Amino acid sequence: MKKCCSFFLVISFFFSIQFLHAQFAADPNDRIYQDLSLWEGKGILRHLPTLRPYPPQVILDALEKVVQRGSRSDAEKAKAYLEEYQKSYRIHLEAGGTSRYTGDDFYGDLYGKIEAGGWIAESMHLEGRLEGLVMDNTSGFVLPEGQRTSVDIFDTWADVTVKDRKLNLRQSQVVDFSVGKADIYFKAGIERNSFGPFWDDSVVLSPEAPHAGHYSFVWRNSWFSYTTVLLELAATDYINDTDNDTYMENEKFPDKHLVLQSFNFYPTSWLEVGFFETIVWGGRLDPIYLLPFKELFYAQSMAGFNDNSFMGILANVRIKDSFQIPMVVYVDDTNLNDLLQFDFSTKFKVALQVGGKYTPKEGGILRRIGADYLMVTPYMYTHRSGLEEIETEEAKRLEQLSAPNYTNYTHMGTNLGVGLDPNSDRFTLSVQLEPMKNLIVDIRGRLMRHGNASEAMSEDERDERNDGSILDDGYNKYGKAIFHYNTRFLNQTVIEKVWQAGFNASYRIPLGPGSVLLEGGYTFEYCEDKDLVKGRTDTTHYINVGLGYRF
């Protein structure tokens, strides 16, 4: 097997082609969003929409501001983007491959894709991406703890076995339609989503979560913005199938929906504050949730409180243009009666994300330095509805738990927010450098902790579902919740700790009608009490490589 892996690794590194990230507005992980984030960090751009990806109308408006206000190097880069987005139509072809390797496990893929987009009318834009892949994920996606795959695929059951390695033939599509102007627009598509002041990973909507059906409306001006989005999701059942390690393999059910609406205010040039709500439901389409400027919690009351509602606040404080303090608090559920009596040892199903980042205005080696802390309390994002009474007879119990869960905060079995299980926290330090033109180096250190809050259940109450993951809703096998009057945040006897340190570098070399991309990275990972087993430790070295071309 090692010989086969080594051969695949060498082929993908030296002979495969992986293009640069195209200027593809419908992907919030596209290269342009990294540049927009940096320009926003420098203070060149202010008060961009909180929901990403942006339509080209917003991107064009932002690029024009960078040309006017930015440094010479910033303006040159913005002009290059402008030239691309102002074309009446554009087409890009890609083909490529990536490889990740730990010494024991291997992942590789080869792919080809076509991206096309253009202006249907002055204020109407359409773009799409069609991609085909050959994937060797016999060992899974081989990613460090806390990271999720960038591949959005569905199972075509077209597999080939070569020398005991399973090769999966898959396809992926992204499409985006937008109409309007930079200050008021409607978008529809199939795409990944990102929300809030944290662009790379968010407790609300993370760009690392799989793509979904997307319908959004945004209206904004100099002091206020309103955002609402409907996401069409795929539900999974209440059975926590721990044997599946990829969201594509879980059984999926249609007719699950999420609506988010946000009210953001800009009282000064250095401050942004916002209030937002979310509702998750399924089994029906409820048009009342689609009405603008409604209170989602009140709308939920008209449906009998069977759905799952969230609310949150966000803020982004700017200090001397280049230093920002972003913050998000996202609340699933809490015991208001206890809080009014100043009892703070009660239920808190909440996620918190706070950080600081410095983006130098002047050009140099340092592009950005940042730190952030993130916490997810026990059973945050989890939910159940209609399972108050659980059958004890095994066949009937299995039938109940096999029903779709329309109310937890998942899509295709994975969190729509951050890639952490409940009862976890994470501290991250990151630095981005550009030691020479077109050579970008990202350096990151990270500490993550996780515990199983269902450890509080007795052996008689607990079953295999109560493993502390996002599919563990905090109800024991008799249907009784254990979280109503206690939070138990990371106070378990066994806490898994993961330390990570690593870098990723990409180098862009113009060649002919396009550019060559050299890419490589390394992550060191040390895990203590791995998989919540006391005394189990593990050290893993992750290596990723790539070589590519785009035109």
Beta bridge partners of 363: none
Spell out the domains of the chain, with CATH numbers in brackets.
Answer: 2-550 (2.40.160.130)
Contacts of 201 (CB under 8 A, 6+ apart): 207, 208, 418, 419
Contact 516, 439 (CB under 8 A): no
Centre a 10 Å sphere on the Cβ of residue 83 and count the other Cβ atoms it contains: 11
546 token code pair = 């790539």
Over the stretch 163-186, which tens digit does the pLDDT of each residue have?
878 888 899 999 999 999 999 999
Over the stretch 290-345, which tens digit does the pLDDT of each residue have?
998 888 888 888 877 788 999 999 999 999 889 999 999 999 887 666 666 666 56
Q: CA-to-CA distance for 475 and 465, rounded, in angstroms?
A: 9
Residue 388 region by backbone torsions, left for phi larger than 0, else alpha for psi between -120 and 50, else beta: alpha
Query: Which amino acid is located at 168 in the chain?
Result: N
Q: What is the dihedral of CA 302, 304, 308, 311, to 10 degrees?
A: 40
DSSP state of 140: -
Centre a 10 Å sphere on the Cβ of residue 430 and count the other Cβ atoms it contains: 17
Contact 549, 513 (CB under 8 A): no
Centre a 10 Å sphere on the Cβ of residue 85 and count the other Cβ atoms it contains: 18
pLDDT tens-place values along the chain, 551 residues long: 444 444 344 334 333 333 333 478 999 999 899 999 999 999 999 999 999 999 999 999 999 999 999 999 999 999 999 998 999 999 888 888 889 999 899 999 888 889 999 999 999 999 999 998 989 988 889 999 999 998 888 777 778 888 878 888 899 999 999 999 999 999 999 999 999 999 999 999 999 999 999 999 999 999 999 999 999 999 988 876 644 444 445 578 999 999 999 999 999 989 999 999 999 999 999 999 999 888 888 888 887 778 899 999 999 999 988 999 999 999 988 766 666 666 656 678 899 999 999 999 887 899 999 999 999 999 999 988 766 667 667 777 777 778 889 999 999 989 999 999 999 999 999 999 999 988 999 999 999 999 999 888 888 888 778 888 988 888 887 778 888 777 889 999 999 999 999 999 998 888 878 777 789 999 999 999 999 999 999 999 999 998 777 77
Contact 410, 389 (CB under 8 A): no
Centre a 10 Å sphere on the Cβ of residue 535 and count the other Cβ atoms it contains: 8
Side-chain-facing half-sphere of 481: CA atoms under 13 Å: 15
Q: Tell me the whole-structure pTM to 2 decimals.
A: 0.90
